[in-house]
Amino acid sequence: MIRALTVMGSMLVNDGPSCERTRMAGVEALVARPQGGSGPAIVFANAATPHGIEQPAVGHLLRGLSRAGFVAVAPELPHVREGEVTPATVDALVEVARCAGPRVALIGASTGAGLAILAAGDPRLANCVTAVMAIAPCASLEQVLRLATTGFYGDHPYSAAPLVAVATKRSLTASAPDDPAVPALVANRDPGRFDSLYGALEPRTRALVDELSPLARMPHVIAPVEIVSAPNDSFFPVGEALALAGSGCDVRLTVTRALDHVRPRLRPGFVGVAAALDRTLKRAAQSERAPAFRPSPVPA
């Protein structure tokens, strides 16, 4: 538990070594290194936020991880700032993780949680991942599309943050710009029409929705996975976390009111969040030191 409390404590007081801005695998990234400059690598996939990796909480997390002995990396994945996720986003995360070291752990928050699972189950990376922690993930892009367009999750209304609708529609439109059925689906508000409109999508578009759904990739994740979610998350229903937990090979699910979406809070259940992080860090610590990446400075 010491490592986890070190990380979480450093986040609260903004303590630890400073971050350097670099380029890795063609994208900008923040990197924080421990004393001595080397350690096992952890790559953090950020939530969709307009500030991207410049969000102060990202730097706080990286510094906390570096203080606990890790080389911590947060890439600026393409268009995630705008809430847009495409196969190119997953490719970028996979390449950054491969660049970070021969063995790497992945931590993701919200949008980044789904991306971490997608990358961990990618055949290019799966054997190199030591641990995964997914905080407030989605599971099925089809179900999130239903939620985003109709306000229903399954057969029940669900009040999700407006960003869910914006990001999901933008991601589908960007991923399948030539499918003539996409505009009608994203414009629909009637839950009774969703299935027929979704069925009208081109087969390649529906295949793409599956490809971008962590639920489809979860069975291919070899590393142990920690999933943490709030029971009434403001973005993704806890049913998404439950679905992921039921589809993986080595998954532990923590549902706790100590999360405000992705932010831990000092409430009952906080120890469960810290324990999930600690298990992830223990696994990550078993990786080789001195990751092999060679970042290039980003011009001012």
- Would you say 294 and 20 are in contact if contact means Cβ atoms under 8 Å apart? no
pLDDT values of the chain reduced to their tens digit, one per residue, 300 residues: 667 766 776 666 655 567 899 999 999 999 999 887 788 999 999 998 889 999 988 999 999 999 889 999 999 999 999 888 999 999 999 999 999 989 999 999 999 999 999 999 999 999 999 999 999 999 999 999 999 999 999 899 999 999 899 999 999 999 999 999 999 999 999 999 999 999 999 999 999 999 999 999 999 999 999 999 999 999 999 999 999 999 998 999 999 998 888 888 878 888 899 899 999 999 998 866 544 445 554 443
Is residue 44 helix, strand or coil?
strand
- CA-based radius of gyration for the chain: 18
Buried residues in 72-81 as b, exposed as e (16+ CB within 10 A)? bbbbbbbbbb
Domains of the chain (ranges; CATH) run 2-138+215-297 (3.40.50.1820), 141-209 (no CATH)
Q: For 84, how many CA atoms within 13 A lie in the half-sphere containing its CB?
A: 12
> How many angstroms separate the CA atoms of 212 and 172, rounded?
10
Closest CA to 122 of 166, 92, 84, 164: 92
> How many angstroms separate the CA atoms of 179 and 200, rounded?
10
pTM above 0.75, yes or no: yes
Locus of tokens 């695998």: 25
CB atoms within 10 A of CB 114: 29
Alpha helices in the chain (DSSP H): 2-13, 56-67, 87-100, 111-120, 141-150, 162-175, 182-187, 194-199, 203-211, 214-217, 238-247, 270-284
